[in-house]
Amino acid sequence: MTIDNITILKNQPLAPYAHTQVGGVVDYLAIPKTRAELQALLTWAKATNQPIHIFGRLSNLVVRNGGLRGVVILLHELRDIQVQGNTITAEAGADLILVTEVALEHGLAGMEWGAGIPGSVGGAVFMNAGAYGGQTDMVATSVTALMPDGSIQTFAADALNFGYRQSVFQANGGVIIEATFTLQPDAPAAIQARMDDNNFRRANKQPLNYPSNGSVFKRPTGYFAGKLIMDAGLQGKRVGGVEVSKKHAGFMVNVANGTGNDYEDLIHFVQATVEEKYGVALETEVRIIGER
């Protein structure tokens, strides 16, 4: 069906849109191409009392087999990127990797940590993503969001409440529309070298040949999640089609048509085993949602 010329798909599986290639069926799925379309979809969903779920690239998310009720809105078509001086302003659906490449083209340093992260700008802000000594909160200076009351608000850096894999948007219900990053001029060759180094390390350590959500667990205080899982002898442990990576124990990979429930069950098994062996409670970095 269509709402204001926006196509809304009914009973649509999320798996084709997810990095893990898992995800149950959702009642409605829509992919707006403009902010006006996003607002129209939200108006329709509220008028019809539909639960609303808004995601970017589904790169840090596990959706259970039972899927989601209501309407799922994916923002990956909202991907405009603008450069002005030392700042880059990108819409929420823009690929983080593409933003790093735009920064490189303009001789702007500070985004190199995101060179190989397969997520969106909105997801990076929402989760305060980071890697290799860099993090979103080091460069994000303002974020514009659509709030639950329908207003559009811009949050300065000191109002974003960034923490380890946390931001204000996990609490206030705001839908990130765009983010501005303030960077520093540097020689493109130097920026490229740092990006190459990060990608080299990523390729050598991470199982990039299988679908995954990246690091499954947050780093527990005083430990490394991957080392705890490796020391517990869990590499290669499989539930259904999902296994703990043999290359990097902090990753879980979809090796044989795994499901969202497989991911969740394996996560719980790893958590229980590590806590039993070492007394450490692993907290998930990925989000798990939906019905079983």
- State the catalytic residues: 165, 215, 285
Beta-carbon contacts of residue 176 (< 8 Å; ≥ 6 apart): 92, 121, 122, 125, 126, 143, 144, 145, 169
Cα first-last separation, the chain: 27
**Taking the C-alpha atoms of 231, 236, 237 and 243 in order, what is their torsion angle to the nearest 10 degrees?**
120
Alpha-carbon distance 249 to 67, whole Å?
Answer: 27
Q: What are phi and psi of 239, to 5 degrees?
A: -125, 115
Would you state the structure tokens that stand for residue 230, as one six-digit string?
A: 């490796």
DSSP per-residue string spanning 191-206: HHHHHHHHHHHHHHHS
Alpha-carbon distance 177 to 173, whole Å?
Answer: 13
Helix residue spans in the chain (DSSP H): 35-47, 96-105, 121-127, 169-172, 188-205, 225-231, 260-278
